[in-house]
Copies of this chain bind each other. A is one copy, B any other.
Amino acid sequence: VSPSAAPAELLLSAELVLSGERFRVVYTLAGEEAAAHRQADAICVEQTVEFPADLLPAGPISDGIVGHLEAFARADAGHWTATVSYAVEIAGDELTQLLNVVFGNISIMPGIRVERLELPDALLAAYRGPRFGRAGLRELLDVPARPLVCTALKPLGLSPAQLAELAYQYALGGVDLIKDDHGLADQPFCRYEERVARCAEAVARGNAETGRRCLYLPNVTAPADRLLGHARFARDAGAGGLLIAPGLVGFDEVRRLAADDRLALPILSHPALLGSFVVHPDLGMSHYALFGQIARLAGADACIFPNYGGRFSFARQDCRRLAQGTAAPLGALRPIFPVPAGGMTLERVAEMRAFYGDDLILLIGGNLHRQPEGLVAACRRFVALVSE
């Protein structure tokens, strides 16, 4: 048997035509300069052709498909900034493949961190982004200027009726957003559909008493064959938004929900299982890229993250950069709300407003249950603290 074309001839005959439009990824590399420069060169190959560079003939693949190292410079002692550009056609219109090009294989190499994405309109055209964003969510809630106030239904272990009673009290207390705790899934002791129906009804009843527009956001994080059905059930039951953990289901599920005109609900993203991308400063992705840019590109309207000084480990500077990522220019995509959380208390509201400004969602859960005046009054105090 004689093959009809030798592989080298195949490569030479590639008739690829590219637009010339490229997107850029800024990486921080840890290590010595020479090794970091070699790693930057390796990224250009690893994230694209994944093929021995010396076997690629001069031509459109080596010129256009292999990444270009656009810049390499010292960041600080032991860290280097490498800017790599990729043809927009490699990512196509797929968020899954964009993430793959940005960090797929090189996530397995130590010392590489995605610092930020620079995405041209030619790529962003494929992304609708957040349906509501900051302005749209404020309009839904009729809260033009102050921080929004959010709390969580918990603890896991309560029945749908008990959680609905909590939701009713939160709504009476005047909070803007009530989300499921992200551990509420579809447990035998608390089924998804019964919980969502009861809680949505309870919040509507609370709203009828207060005249306000509090939204209930059930957790739709679920197996692949149930997720969209959960979201549609939530919409039909009167839920006002959706909570989803992209670390558990993939960021593209956020995009699918955000783009669904039959849903048309605001989306709150939760950081579960995303921690390994950010906890080590020399690995993964920056807070800015992951919780700012990528969550927003996927279409989240607000992004929960663990605030500095809580139960988790984010530094103040991480949180500041993250918040910047929720609003920095990203084509025509709407700015979204940062939602610092994770052990926050009423005592910290003023400090958090000073740190983040008022384009902010404050999420306080367990601490509301600790207040001597009771839950409804504690919620009212929470709202009063952001209304001063």
Are B49 and A154 in contact, CB atoms less than 8 angstroms apart?
yes
Chain B contacts for A120, CB-based, 8 A: none
Contact with B along A30-52 (1 / 0, CB 8 A): 00000000000010001111111
Chain B, residue nearest A42 (CB) = B311
> Does A240 have its Cβ within 8 Å of any Cβ on chain B?
no
> Does A14 have its Cβ within 8 Å of any Cβ on chain B?
yes
Are B155 and A56 in contact, CB atoms less than 8 angstroms apart?
yes
> Does A284 have its Cβ within 8 Å of any Cβ on chain B?
yes
Are B157 and A92 in contact, CB atoms less than 8 angstroms apart?
no
A149-176 residues with Cβ-Cβ distance < 8 A to B are 152, 154-159, 162, 165-166, 168-169, 172
| Chain A interfacial positions (CB closer than 8 Å to B) | 1, 3-7, 10-11, 13-18, 42, 46-52, 55-56, 60-61, 64-65, 89-90, 92, 94-97, 99-101, 103-110, 152, 154-159, 162, 165-166, 168-169, 172, 181-183, 185-189, 209, 221-225, 245, 247-250, 252-253, 255-256, 271-280, 283-285, 306, 311-314, 342, 365-367, 369-370, 374-376
- State in angstroms the CA–CA spacing of A75 and B222 once bound together: 35
Chain B contacts for A90, CB-based, 8 A: 156, 183, 187
Are A313 and B108 in contact, CB atoms less than 8 angstroms apart?
yes
Chain B, residue nearest A181 (CB) = B50
Q: Report which of B104, B157, B374 forms a contact with A273, defined as CB distance below 8 A.
A: B104
Q: Report which of B108, B224, B311 forms a contact with A255, defined as CB distance below 8 A.
A: B224
Are A306 and B272 in contact, CB atoms less than 8 angstroms apart?
no
- State in angstroms the CA–CA spacing of A47 and B182 once bound together: 10
Chain B contacts for A4, CB-based, 8 A: 165, 168
Are A99 and B306 in contact, CB atoms less than 8 angstroms apart?
no
Q: Report which of B65, B95, B159, B209 forms a contact with A156, defined as CB distance below 8 A.
A: B65
Chain B contacts for A156, CB-based, 8 A: 48-50, 61, 65, 90
Are A6 and B221 in contact, CB atoms less than 8 angstroms apart?
no
Are A209 and B155 in contact, CB atoms less than 8 angstroms apart?
no
User: What are 10 A-B contacts defined by CB distance under 8 Å?
Assistant: A3-B172, A46-B311, A50-B156, A56-B155, A61-B156, A61-B158, A94-B185, A95-B223, A105-B182, A224-B253
Q: Report which of B108, B172, B181, B375 forms a contact with A271, defined as CB distance below 8 A.
A: B108
